[in-house]
Amino acid sequence: MHLPGKVKFRSRLLSELKIAIALLVILPASITNVQAAGDPADGERLARQWCAACHVVADDQTNGTEAVPSFTEIAKTRGFNEATLTGFLADPHPKMPDMSLTNREISNLASYILSRGN
């Protein structure tokens, strides 16, 4: 009978899975506490691709819409931090299109936008 061995293997696998899931939940939170989690260079690439139609996203961009705040303005004057900015991008309000960004894209964009305030 191989059954007991199989059952044992199953439950070990299960508890290892539980540990892996726990780490996945805990790790990102502890990383964001230490530093901005995103990659600002990739955020700039995304911004030029997805946001530049309305926002001035970089210094070398000459055309944009007056009515839409530039990313520098957003970083400097709107009082956003990493948490509020990622929150906004995950669930933008009506004047802005919902672009269904992934968490990774949101985090990179937030890092880029916040870097514009330096």
Residues lying near ligand HEC in the complex (CB under 6 A) are found at 47, 50-51, 53-55, 68-69, 74, 78, 85, 88-89, 95-97, 99, 109
Q: How far is the CB of 47 from ligand HEC (least distance, A)?
A: 6
Q: How far is the CB of 89 from ligand HEC (least distance, A)?
A: 6
Q: If you ran DSSP here, which 8-state letter would residue 54 be given?
A: T
* Integer CA distances (angstroms), 19 to 7, 22, 26, 100, in order: 19, 5, 10, 30
The residue (of 14 and 99) whose beta carbon lies closer to ligand HEC is 99
The residue (of 32 and 76) whose beta carbon lies closer to ligand HEC is 76
Tokens linked to 14: 């299960």
Q: How far is the CB of 110 from ligand HEC (least distance, A)?
A: 8
The residue (of 30 and 118) whose beta carbon lies closer to ligand HEC is 118
Q: How far is the CB of 46 from ligand HEC (least distance, A)?
A: 6
The residue (of 15 and 84) whose beta carbon lies closer to ligand HEC is 84
User: How many residues does the structure list for the chain?
Assistant: 118
Give the Cα separation of 53 and 65 in Å (integer).
8
For residues 82 and 36, the answer to whether their CB atoms sit within 8 Å is yes
For residues 77 and 114, the answer to whether their CB atoms sit within 8 Å is no
Q: If you ran DSSP here, which 8-state letter would residue 99 be given?
A: -
